[in-house]
């Protein structure tokens, strides 16, 4: 059979359409994990594996992220947790921390009035609670390291 060139033209056109679709903006409103490959076993933590996850961004680009987990579902969950934590850290700045500190320090005095000296004890107790929450948050953030 002699190739008339029609198949080549179709393949060339098809390739151009695929390239265009990869460049155009995604129709999804969320990022999507489109590929996940196991890379190797973890040397430091037996039972865990390293995965390379390819994520399709909203603008149509692709990015690769490493993730560790016992299985693929666990690795994806850990990656999503890291993304949420980074988002929250970006949103939480010193203005919010200072506002929360003012509310925590002023709340016992507002409840008891200034004639009762117990508001000092409550203020110190709330400082302890704030330090406890800070310790808990730091432990939560650094648990993967």
- Is residue 70's pLDDT more than 80? yes
Residue 49: helix, strand or coil by DSSP?
strand
- Is residue 41's pLDDT more than 50? yes
Tokens 């198949």 belong to 7
The predicted structure's pLDDT at residue 7: 47
Report pLDDT digits (tens) over 78-133: 998 888 888 877 777 777 777 777 777 777 666 766 666 676 677 778 778 878 88
- Is residue 140's pLDDT more than 90? no
Q: pTM (2 decimals)? A: 0.51
CA–CA dist 122, 116 (Å, integer): 11
Dihedral sign of CA atoms 67, 84, 91, 64 in order: positive
Whole-number percent of the chain with pLDDT over 90: 14
pLDDT category at 12 given cuts 50, 70, 90 is low
CA–CA dist 132, 125 (Å, integer): 10
Beta bridge partners of 114: none
Write 16-22 long-range contacts (CB < 8 A, 24+).
22/60
CB 112 within 8 A of CB 122: yes
């Amino acid at each position: 059979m002699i190739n008339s060139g029609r198949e080549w033209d179709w393949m060339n056109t098809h390739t151009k359409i695929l390239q265009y679709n990869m460049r155009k903006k995604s129709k999804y409103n969320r990022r999507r994990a489109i590929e996940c490959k196991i890379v190797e076993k973890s040397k430091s933590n037996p039972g865990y594996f390293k995965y390379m996850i390819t994520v399709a961004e909203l603008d149509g680009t692709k990015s690769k992220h490493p993730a560790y987990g016992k299985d693929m579902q666990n690795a994806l969950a850990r990656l999503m947790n890291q993304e949420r934590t980074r988002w929250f850290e970006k949103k939480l700045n010193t203005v919010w921390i200072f506002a929360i500190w003012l509310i925590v320090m002023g709340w016992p005095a507002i409840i008891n009035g200034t004639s009762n000296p117990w508001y000092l004890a409550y203020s110190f107790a709330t400082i302890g609670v704030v330090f406890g929450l800070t310790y808990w948050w730091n432990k939560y953030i650094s648990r993967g390291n």
